């Protein structure tokens, strides 16, 4: 059995939505220095819809694939739909990740939520603090 699914390999070798967005509506950056995985997500939001999303990821193939898949999953969605994206959904969309690489999908979820929080704060939009992960607890990696 292969360590990585075909979808993981496809998103790693042909990542979607790579880059930056100038004047982004929201930007989120998360990472774990121990692993070396760092993700930065840029959102362009109009009328509560994510019109565009880009990412920059420094990390392993699983981190890049998770970032790529996560951006595809939220592009064109409402900010409320994007808030509900979970690391489990990202991993499932990639047809699974090895257990020791699940932290990569957690980082993708947290980067998106960090960018949404940035958007809410820049625009004085009320939000529930419980909807956002505690950035001080970085996912553990092996």
What confidence tens digit (pLDDT) does each residue in 73-106 have?
Answer: 999 999 999 999 999 999 999 998 888 777 777 8
Query: What's residue 23's pLDDT?
Result: 96
Task: Please spell the DSSP secondary structure of 67-136, one letter per residue.
Answer: HHHHHHHHTTSBHHHHHT--HHHHHHHTT---GGGHHHHHHHHHHHHHHHHHHHHHTT----GGGS--TT
Better-scored residue on pLDDT, 131 or 17: 17
pLDDT value at 142 more than 90? no
Query: What's residue 35's pLDDT?
Result: 65
pLDDT value at 140 more than 60? no
| Per-residue confidence band for 135, with pLDDT thresholds at 50, 70 and 90 | very low
**Catalytic positions:** 35, 104
What would the two tokens of residue 61 be? 């193939």
In this predicted model, what pLDDT tens digit does every residue of 46-60 receive, in sequence order? 999 999 999 999 988
Residues 103/141, Cβ–Cβ less than 8 Å: yes
Whole-number mean pLDDT of the chain? 88
User: Within 13 A of 117's CA, how many CA atoms are on the CB side?
Assistant: 17
Q: From 110, 22, 124, select the one nearest 70 (Cα to Cα).
A: 110
């Amino acid at each position: 059995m292969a360590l990585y699914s075909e979808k993981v390999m496809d998103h790693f070798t042909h990542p979607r939505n790579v880059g930056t967005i100038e004047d982004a509506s929201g930007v989120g950056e998360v990472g774990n220095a121990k692993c070396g995985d760092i993700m930065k997500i840029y959102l362009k939001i109009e009328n509560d819809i994510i019109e565009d999303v880009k990412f920059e990821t420094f990390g392993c193939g699983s981190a890049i694939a998770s970032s790529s898949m996560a951006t595809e999953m939220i592009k064109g969605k409402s900010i409320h739909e994007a808030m509900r994206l979970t690391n489990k959904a990202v991993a499932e969309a990639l047809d699974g990740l090895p257990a020791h690489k699940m932290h990569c999908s957690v980082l993708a979820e947290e980067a998106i939520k960090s960018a949404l929080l940035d958007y809410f704060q820049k625009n004085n939009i009320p939000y529930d603090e419980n909807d956002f992960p505690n950035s001080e607890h970085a996912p553990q990696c092996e």
